[in-house]
Amino acid sequence: MRRTLVKLASKPFVKGEVIACGTKYDPIDEEEKEIVDVINSIPLLLVRFESYPKPPEEVIAAELGPELSEELRKRGYGLTPIEAFSPKTLDVTLVTKIVLDETRYVYCTFPSDSNVRKLARKYGCTVLEEDVGEALVEAPTKYHALRFAVGVLLELNGSAAVGFTQAAATERYAKVETLIRPPFAAFTKMGAEWAIHEGGERKIPKPSGDVEAPDRILYLDVIGSTRLIDKLGRSYLHGFMERVIETLQEEHASILHHRPGGDDVLARFPSKSHALRAAIKVLGLADKARVKVREGVGNSRSSAAEEALATEERLRYEASFVAFRFGPDVVALVEPPPPAYEAARLPMELGRMVAASLITGSLAIVHPVLALPALFVFPLAAFKRASKPHYGLIWSVIWLGVTAGVISAAAGLRPIILPPGLRELIDVTFGVILKTILSKGTLPGVGWP
Residue 446 belongs to a domain:
no
The predicted pLDDT at position 143 comes to 86
CATH assignment at residue 260? 3.30.70.1230
Same domain, 42 and 171: yes
Same domain, 187 and 172: yes
Domain end: 293, 327, 361, which one? Answer: 327
Q: Which domain holds residue 260?
A: 213-327
Residue 197 belongs to a domain:
yes
Q: How far is CA 273 from CA 52, 71, 352, 410, in A?
A: 19, 30, 42, 60
Q: What is the pLDDT of residues 331-376, one digit of tens each?
A: 999 999 988 877 777 788 888 888 988 898 888 888 888 888 888 8
The predicted pLDDT at position 443 comes to 47
Same domain, 187 and 221: no
Same domain, 180 and 224: no
Residue 334 belongs to a domain:
no
Same domain, 183 and 220: no
Same domain, 136 and 225: no
Residue 354 belongs to a domain:
yes
| Contact (CB, 8 A) for 196 and 72 | yes
Residue 134 belongs to a domain:
yes
**pLDDT of 445 higher than 60:** no
- Interval 277-294 mean pLDDT: 95
The predicted pLDDT at position 412 comes to 87
Query: Which residues have CB under 8 Å from 269's CB, separation 6+?
Result: 216, 217, 218, 251, 252, 253, 254, 275, 278
The predicted pLDDT at position 211 comes to 54
Residue 448 belongs to a domain:
no
Q: What angle do CA 282, 6, 35 make, to 5 degrees?
A: 30
The predicted pLDDT at position 448 comes to 43
Same domain, 194 and 220: no
Same domain, 113 and 190: yes
Residue 447 belongs to a domain:
no
**pLDDT of 124 higher than 70:** yes
User: Which one, of 241, 31, 271, 23, lies nearest residue 144 by Cα?
Assistant: 271
Q: Work out the pLDDT band at 89, boundaries 50, 70, 90.
A: low
Same domain, 223 and 199: no
How many domains are there within the chain?
A: 3
Q: What is the pLDDT of residues 162-212, one digit of tens each?
A: 998 999 999 999 999 999 999 999 998 877 899 999 999 999 988 765 555
Same domain, 263 and 293: yes
Highest mean pLDDT of the ranges 33-47, 79-93, 422-436: 33-47
Other C-beta atoms closer than 10 Å to the C-beta of 338 total: 17
The predicted pLDDT at position 190 comes to 75
**pLDDT of 240 higher than 70:** yes
User: Which one, of 333, 257, 310, 246, lies nearest residue 21 by Cα?
Assistant: 333
Query: Which residues have CB under 8 Å from 334's CB, separation 6+?
Result: 14, 44, 45, 47, 311, 315, 319, 320, 321
- In whole numbers, what is the pLDDT of the chain averaged over residues? 88
Q: What is the pLDDT of residues 245-274, one digit of tens each?
A: 999 999 999 999 999 889 999 999 988 889
Q: What is the pLDDT of residues 27-76, one digit of tens each?
A: 888 888 999 999 999 999 999 887 766 788 888 888 888 889 999 999 99
Domain end: 272, 301, 327, which one? Answer: 327
Residue 333 belongs to a domain:
no
Same domain, 207 and 232: no
- Among left, alpha and beta (phi > 0; psi -120 to 50; other), residue 252 is left
Domain end: 173, 193, 212, which one? Answer: 212
Q: What is the DSSP string of 53-117?
A: SS-HHHHHHHHHHHHHHHHHHHTTEEEEEEE----TTHHHHHHHHHHS-S-EEEEEE--TT--HH
For 144, phi then psi, to 5°, come to -65, -40
Same domain, 197 and 269: no
